[in-house]
Structure formats: structure tokens, C-alpha cells
Amino acid sequence: MDTRFLPHNTHIEKPDAFLDLDPHLQLLGKRPLVHYSRLLDQIPYNKQGIYTLTGGRQIGKTTLLKQWMARLLERHIQPASIVFVTGELIDDHHSLVRLLVDLIKEMPDTGLNIILLDEVTYINHWDKGIKYLADSGILERTILVITGSDLAIIKDARMRFPGRRGLSNKVDFHLYPLSFLDFVMLNKRIAQNEIELLLDLDKTPSVELLDLLFEEFEIYLVHGGFLTAINDMALYGRILPATFSTYSDWIRGDVLKRNKREHFLQEILEAIIKRYGSQITWNSLSSDLSIDHPKTIADYVALLTSMDATFVQPALQEDKLTASPKKARKVMFTDPFIFHAVNAWLKPCEDPFNDQVKPILRDSDWSGKLTEAIVATHYSRRFPTYYIKAKGEVDIAYVDKNRFWPVEVKWTAQLRPKQLKQISKYKNGIILTKSKQSGLIQGIPAIPLPLSILRLGSM
């Protein structure tokens, strides 16, 4: 094996010491809160094929692969049948082909072999290399798992080798930040049996249990689903400045790597925050920025979306259940921690947690905007998700079972009748509220918001 990859493959010589020797698992073992994604049980380990694992930067894709390797060893997969390589050290598809051919020759010639190719998008024309290996039959007895942080490139490349992916029903996997349910289960302030009670639609949780759930949601508004930030809070009671910087630096680095301009990125991010939760058009943004062309703004936002940093929520065309091309859209960050990290970069200070995050969350308007974004992005993980713009507005409309389902988010103490004017026109709408009691508001079912998105995470 190429010596550059030996630190990631200590399991071959010392499988019993893998947890202690692997650099990622070493770091993981020092954290107070360790998460095990459900994907660990979903990625096939006994069916030949080419599988993809996508997700944003700093979300834990590499760590998940290392955890999966440990699981494979527990299942008594031969250590020599498992190899991890990182695309950061591979220049182009020619180097990739030579490396994988050599690795496969060294691996056992009986049964399936498993190669984990991390951060494949660092490799120039990587898809050409994978296509060649698949067409030539070299991957015939191989499970190849490739990861990447650029969703657009991965999606485009997948289309270039159809029919070569294998026999598994599911070959593409996406790692998101922890959902609210994931965090509550990880934090363990609420016992497992109590979580099961909260998830049971036929049970009514106690006021005390709902109080605790609301407290958990207030914490989630701080760190979202990013494990480094979650562990900062567990260890120090705050998010360290370096944690904010690490994520914002990744965004800037990935954008600059694609020959984009940092000052354009800065302007666009400032505009997103300034108009958070509001309807925008690329034309309206360009009139306020130094960027002349609306298409340039659209390209930057598309790049941020492909990096899983932003989510673009279009208006719903109700009769077609698709995005309305002529109406404005909303742009939000896919996780509250991304919002805080970007804000800390745009407005530098020594202590972003105390000087920025805490004041923002004390502001009812801002906490409402962040809450609405959490709900919208949680729905978008499972359904096509829009908003409704007619005579009035509905915050979210997701499409399921060939119809749309309106959802109004009201993270305020008081509701005005005119705020419910549009959603009252639909028979299947719900309102997610700050109240800890379920019931009806103007005949519309109202559910405590943290309870609703907790249940959404279990779907």
C-alpha cells in the first residue's frame, strides 16, 4: 500500500487496536457526545456496487466512514478486504486508476473487497477514472464508496456511469447535520422512553416533559446539528471562536477554489442575512450590490446550495406541485450553526458566542426567522418543500402523496387572525406554535413546534 494512506489503514496490521490508532476515531473518543448515524446500518456491505455519500463540509462524512470500518471489523470482514484512501492526495484520474488497480491486486482474491474513497472531488476528472474501472471489470468484486462535499459535481458524475452502480436498491446516501431528534437522543437529557412517548401520536406529553423539550430546542437554535459545536457546548457551555472560524473558512476556501471572488461571496452572504426569511429575486439583490448581473448572484447561491450551506425555497405552483418560476424565492442556511458561523465571519469579534449568538437568540424576531428556517430545512430533507405566495403567504408547503401540505410557523407569543388568512383556506394545514398545548386555532390544528419537528425526524 502507498505509505501516504497507512495512517488511515491501521486496521490491516492491528485490527483490535483500530479504535485507538485511527486519527479520526482517536479524536472521536475524546468527545463527550458521540453520534452514530443511521446511515451506518444502511450502506450495504455485502452487495457489489458503486455507492456515494454526500454532505456538506465539516458534517462528519470521514468520521462516519471510519465508524463504518469499525462496524465491518465487528462483522468479521477480513481487515485486508477494507481500504481507506483520501482524494486529497490523488492528483487526477490517471493516478486514481493506477492506485485502485494496485490496491485491488493486493487485496484478497476471494469474496468482496471494500474501498472507501474519501473526498473524491479533489481528484481531477475522477468520474472518468471510476467509469474506466467499472467498464473494464476491475470493480467486479468491489464495493466502492465515494464521498464528496460538492453535491452538484457528484450528481452530474453519477449520470455518466448509469447501469454500473450495482444491484442494491439504494446506492446514494446523504449525510445531513443532526436533526432535532438526533440531537435530543444524543444529548440524553430526555430519556429514551420519554422520547418514545413524545413520538407517539396517541399520547399527550406532560407539561414538564414539554418544558424540557422546549429547552432542548432553544439549545438547538445555538449549535444546530454540527457535532463540533454540540460538543463545544457540552464541554465549555459555549461555542469556541475557532469552531466558528473552521466552518466559515471551509465555505470561503471551497468558493475560492472554484475561481469565485471573496468580496462577491461576502456581499451575497450579507444580503442573505439582511433579507433572512424574506422573499427575494436575483434582480432585486443585484440592485443593492456591486454585482451587476443577477446570473452571477444565482451562480454563487447555486454553489452554496451544492455545498449544502444554503437552501433555496421557491414558491409553490399549486396546480402543478412544482416551483413557480416567476415568483420570488427565499434563501436560508441549512442549519442555524452555519448562520452563526457566517455571521461571525462577516462581523468579526473576539467572542462570537457571547457577543453575537446570544443577543440574536434573545431577539424574538431573529429567533423566529431561525426557527422558520429549521422547520423548512427539516421538511426539505424528506419532501419537495416550497412556500405559498397568493393573496397571503404560508411559510411552508411540502409535497407528499400527490398533494401539498401547508405549514404555518408562528414562533411568537401572540397570533393575529390576519396572519392565518391564507392557511385558513386549506383544509389540511397545520400551525406550529410556541405554545406547549396542542389544539385548534381558528379551526386549524396547532401543534407545539419542537414536538412537531421532533416527530418529523422519525419519519
Strands 439-441 and 444-448: antiparallel
Instruction: Give, to the nearest 10 degrees, the angle between helix 227-236 and helix 180-187.
Output: 40
Distance of CA 283 to the CA centre of its chain: 28
Q: What is the pLDDT of residue 279?
A: 93
Three cell numbers at 113? 473487497
Examine the domain organization and report whether 263 and 362 are in the same domain: yes
Beta bridge mates, 10 = none
Same domain, 342 and 291: yes
- Number of domains observed in the structure of the chain: 2
CA nearest 178: which of 222, 235, 226?
226
Q: Judge if 100 and 212 occupy the same domain.
A: no
Residue where a domain stops, chosen among 159, 174, 189: 174
Say if residue 190 is in the same domain as residue 146: no
Residues of the chain with pLDDT under 70: 162-163
**Residues near 93 by beta carbon (within 8 Å), at least 6 away in sequence:** 123, 124, 125, 126, 127, 128, 129, 132
Contact (CB, 8 A) for 414 and 215: no
Q: Which residues pair with 128 in a beta bridge?
A: none
Q: Which of 144, 174, 204 is the last residue of a domain?
A: 174
Handedness of CA 304, 307, 313, 316 (dihedral sign): positive
Distance, in Å, from the CA atom of 104 to the CA atom of 139, rounded to the nearest integer, reads 8
Cell 468491489 locates to 142
Q: How many whole angstroms separate alpha carbon 312 and alpha carbon 58?
A: 21
pLDDT of residue 170: 87
Whole-number Cα distances in Å, 28 to 22, 66, 452: 10, 10, 31
Last residue of a domain, one of 139, 155, 174: 174
Going by C-alpha positions, the residue among 193, 187, 238 that lies closest to residue 216 is: 187
* Same domain membership, residue 243 and residue 298: yes
* Same structural domain, 91 and 192: no
Q: DSSP assignment of 384-430, as one string?
A: -EEEEESSSEEEEEEEETTEEEEEEEE-SS---GGGGTTGGG-TT-E
Could you tell me if 13 and 73 lie in one domain?
A: yes
Please report the pLDDT score of residue 37 as a whole number: 95
CATH number, residue 76: 3.40.50.300
State whether residue 280 is helix, strand or coil. strand
**Are 85 and 228 found together in one domain?**
no
In the three-class reduction of DSSP (H, G, I as helix; E, B as strand; rest coil), residue 211 is classed as helix
Q: CA-CA distances (angstroms) from residue 202 to 35, 43, 197, 199, 458?
A: 29, 33, 9, 9, 15
- If asked whether residues 283 and 417 sit together in one domain, one would say yes
Residue 258, pLDDT score: 86
pLDDT in the model for residue 415: 74
Q: Are residues 170 and 185 in the same domain?
A: no
Do 96 and 210 belong together in one domain? Answer: no
Number of H helices, E strands in the chain: 19, 15
Instruction: Give pLDDT, residue 149.
Output: 84
How far is residue 184's CA from residue 204's CA, in Å, rounded to a whole number?
Answer: 18
Residue whose C-alpha cell is 471489523: 73
Run of H or E residues at 369: helix 364-380
Q: Which of 221, 223, 225, 227 is nearest to 371 (CA)?
A: 221
Domain that holds residue 68: 3-174
User: What is the pLDDT at residue 419?
Assistant: 80
Residues 147 and 192 in one domain: no
Cβ atoms < 10 Å from Cβ of 29: 11
